[in-house]
Amino acid sequence: MPLRTGTRRTPSLGSALARAALASVVLFALPASANTIALTPLIPNGADARRVQDVRQLMSSELEFMSNVSGIKELERLPPALNPMCLDDPGCLGGIMGSTGADALLTGTLTDQGGTIVLDLVYFSRGRVQRRQAYTVPADATALANQMTNILGEMLTGASQEEEAPTSMSALTDSDDDFFMASAPAPRPVPAPQPQQAAMGFGMNDGLVDAGPSAEELAYQARQQEMARQQAEAQRQAQMRAQQEAQMRAQQEAQMRAQQEAQARAQQDAQPGAQEDAARGPQEDAVRAHQH
């Protein structure tokens, strides 16, 4: 993972206290273990290949600086098995993750809505989908980059990064004098992640009463069904084209064989006549010579 470098300076008493407080906060905030995450390109839904690639690269860059990520297995191309139906299939997701040797898998879909995009993200580990959450964010690259840290932090931990204790050195040492006068805040326990209701109906709310699908959920399901229908139709059209091409090739081959057979028969029919003409020639010459 890349290291940040900067100009060294002699630490003052306030800086020393800031570093001590930062160390205690970081030690408290670090997870028990770090995961190697497999990151795939998001399944495009109305988004072009350039947009999908840019979002994947942005997600990869943000993951590199997260303390609970020990490594990234980045897939540059969409796995053949990955489709919208795979996102709900632990067996399918586990197969993709297992092929990379990673501990977890981060994937999902990307829907382009013009001025905004929808990131429907899935975090898979330990044999099941840990979280699935949809985020509607601006399509502008700068605005998207500003929100990506919180989005990925929430996907990996279940808690928004804005709720965590500050871990930035610059945030604690902007003013050594101010920090010296103020006592360092005691780290507070981070509450256990609570299941969240996804914006598009994919929050994991075990134990809650299901009030039935919302309008957003129904719209999302309709989009997924339409995507599946389009994929099936594309496959059917491809099969029909393949069959038509095979029939055309068979017809062309049959015509060529018929022409070759006709030429062979014509040559065979012509040979006896030529032989008879060749045989009659000397006989007729002999008869004419005898007459003279």
pTM of the entire predicted model: 0.47
pLDDT in tens, 223-266: 778 787 887 888 888 888 888 888 888 888 888 888 898 888 88
pLDDT at 105: 96
Distances (CA, A) of 221 to 8, 88, 108, 131, 206: 55, 12, 15, 18, 20
Report which secondary-structure segment, H or E, holds 107. Answer: strand 104-112
The continuous run of DSSP H or E covering 37 comes out as strand 35-39
The CA distance from 70 to 100, in Å, is: 14
% of the chain exceeding 90 in pLDDT: 35
Closest by CA to 195, choosing from 133, 152, 257, is 133
Cα–Cα distance list, 93 to 96, 112, 122, 191, 264 (Å): 5, 24, 10, 29, 61
Tell me the DSSP string of 136-187. Answer: EEESSHHHHHHHHHHHHHHHHHSS-GGGSPP--HHHHHS-HHHHHHSPPPPP
Which band of pLDDT confidence, cut at 50, 70 and 90, is reported for residue 215?
confident
Binning pLDDT at 50, 70 and 90, where does residue 213 land? low
Q: Please, what is the average pLDDT of the chain?
A: 75
Closest CA relative to residue 84, chosen from 194, 196, 200: 200
Using the structure block, give the residue that is written with the tokens 């010579």.
289
Q: What's the confidence (pLDDT) of residue 229?
A: 83
